[in-house]
Amino acid sequence: MMLKQQISGEIEGIREELIDLSKRIHEKPELAFNEYSAVENIISLLEKHNFNVKKGIAGLETAFRAEYNGKGKGPTVAFLAEYDALPEIGHGCGHNLIGTMSVGAAIGLSKVANKIDGKIVVIGTPGEEGGGGKVIMVNKGVFDDIDYAMMIHPSTSNIICRGGLATRKLKIEYHGKSAHSSSPEEGINALQAVIHTFNFIDHIRAILPLKSNINGIITEGGKVPNVIPDYACCSFSVRADTVSDLKIVVKHIEHIVKSIENFMGVKANISKTLVYTERYPNKFIAEKLKDNIAQFGEEMHYPKPNIKYGSSDIGNVSLVVPAIHSYLKIAELGTISHSMAFTNAAITENAHNQMMKGAKALALTGFDIFSDEKLRQDIYDEFYKTVPKYDKYDIE
C-alpha cells in the first residue's frame, strides 16, 4: 500500500508537466503519421525522467518505444500513447489526454522501479484515426515482447470491458467512357455505376450479418452535367461484429461491384485499408483498473447490453497481448465524440483532473500486474480462453 501511495504521489508531483504536455499536443493538432511535434514533446518528457527511447519503430517516423528497467527480470507492461488528431476539429477524440495519461502512468511507476521485477514501456502509436498505426506495429512485431498493454480513452461515461467492431474502408473506382449527354448511348456512365453500387448495397442489408453496417459517400461523380462521366469514385466504411463477419460483408460488396462491371461494361478497381479487428478487453486487468480508480472517486461500469460500438486499432493489439482500452468521463453525456464540443472538453480543467486520475489508475494497475503472480496467470487464462487466433490471411 505504501508503494501505491508513493506512485500516486509521484504522478501528482508532475501534474504541471503532464498538463503542459496535454496542452502542447492539443494546441498543435497533427494528423495521422504527421504527429512530429506531439512525439517530440512526449519524448522530451520521458527522456527527462530517464526513459530510454527508440524512435521511428516499425518503419513509422512518429512511432516510438520508451522503456525503463526494473531491478530484475519479469513481465513487460506497456502503456499505449495516442496523439493524432482529426481533420478540421483537432483533438475531438481527446488523444492529447490518452497520450499524456500513459506517459504519466509510466513515469509514476518508474519511480518505484527498484521495487519491480520487469520492464515499464510506453509505446507511441501514431495514426489511430484511420491510419491503422497499431495494425502496422502488430504486423511488424512491435508487441512480440510485450506481456500486457493498457490505455484509457476519454469519453462521456466511465466504462470497462467495452468491445469494438471490426472495420475497414473500401474505395471503389469505376472507369467508363466519356460522351456528350446528347448522345449518351456512345458512353459508359461511371457515375451510374456508383449509383447502382449504393442501390445494390441497400438491397442486401437484410442478409448481412447482425451488427454489420455500411456507410458510404460519393467522392467524385463527374465534372459537368452535360458530359457522361468516364470516371466516378465512392468510398465506404464497413463495420461488423467480427473479422469473420467483416469478410462476409466485403465479399458481398465485391460481388456487387463485379456484377456492375458485367452489367454496365465499366472497369472497376477496389482499394482496401487495413483491417481493424474486433476488440477483446481483458476482464482481469479491467477489474484491477476499476478497483484502483475507485479510490479517486470514479466508479467504472460495464457497458449496457445495447451500447453501440465504434472501432479502433487497439483491437489488433488485443489479439496478440492481454489489453484494456477503458473509458473515462471528461464530458457530459450527449457530447458527441469527433466534434468541436469534445475538442473543447478535452482541454478543460475537468479533463485534466480526470487525466490525472487515469494516469494514477493505470500506474497502480501496472504495479498490481508486476507484483501479483496469480493476477498475471488469471489474465492469461482468460486471454487464451476468449481471444481467437486468426490466421494472418484473415485480416489482410
In the predicted structure, residue 325 carries a pLDDT above the cut 90: yes
Q: Please, where in the chain does CATH 3.40.630.10 lie?
A: 2-164+279-395
pLDDT of residue 237: 97
The whole-angstrom separation of Cα 315 and Cα 132 is 11
pLDDT (mean) for 61-85: 97
The reported pLDDT for the residue numbered 251 is 97
Q: Model confidence over 370-395: pLDDT tens digits? A: 999 999 999 999 999 999 998 876 77
The model carries a pTM of: 0.94
Four-point Cα dihedral 235, 239, 240, 242, nearest 10: 110
3-state helix, strand, coil in the chain (%, to 5): 45, 20, 35
Residue 189's contacts (CB-CB under 8 Å, 6 or more residues apart) are 176, 228, 229, 264
Q: Which fold has domain 2-164+279-395?
A: Aminopeptidase (3.40.630)
- pLDDT value of position 342: 98
Name, in order, each residue with C-beta under 8 angstroms of 57's C-beta and a sequence gap of 6 or more: 63, 64, 65, 137, 140, 142
Task: Work out the number of other CB atoms within 10 angstroms of the CB of residue 278.
Answer: 25
Structural contact between residues 356 and 15, judged by C-beta atoms closer than 8 angstroms:
yes
Q: Maximum distance among all alpha carbons in the chain?
A: 84
pLDDT in tens, 269-308: 999 999 999 999 999 999 999 999 999 999 999 999 888 8
CATH T-level topology, domain 166-272: Alpha-Beta Plaits (3.30.70)
CA proximity to 153, closest of 378, 46, 313? 313
Given a contact cutoff of 8 angstroms between Cβ atoms, the answer to whether 78 and 122 are in contact is: yes
pLDDT at 391: 81
- Cell numbers that stand for 13 in this block: 508531483
Nearest in space to 165 (alpha carbons), one of 210, 217, 99: 210
pLDDT classification of 173: cutoffs 50, 70, 90? very high
CA distance 13 to 350: 18
Read off the pLDDT of residues 77-136 as tens digits, 9 standing for 90 and up: 999 999 999 999 999 999 999 999 999 999 999 999 999 999 999 999 999 998 999 999
Give DSSP secondary structure letters for 201-222: HHHHGGGSPTT-EEEEEEEE--
* Spatial contact of 345 and 331, defined as CB atoms under 8 Å apart: yes
Query: What distance in Å separates the CA atoms of residue 95 and residue 26, rounded to the nearest whole number?
Result: 8
Q: Cα(107)–Cα(366) distance, rounded to whole angstroms?
A: 12
Tell me how far CA of residue 370 lies from CA of 26, 283, 295, 337, 356, in angstroms.
32, 17, 20, 34, 21
pLDDT for the residue 279: 98
Residue ranges of the chain assigned to CATH 3.30.70.360: 166-272
SS3 249: helix
Compute φ and ψ for 253, nearest 5 degrees.
Answer: -65, -40
> Has residue 339 got a pLDDT over 90?
yes
- On the 0-12 / 13-18 / 19+ scale of CB atoms within 10 A, 276 is buried
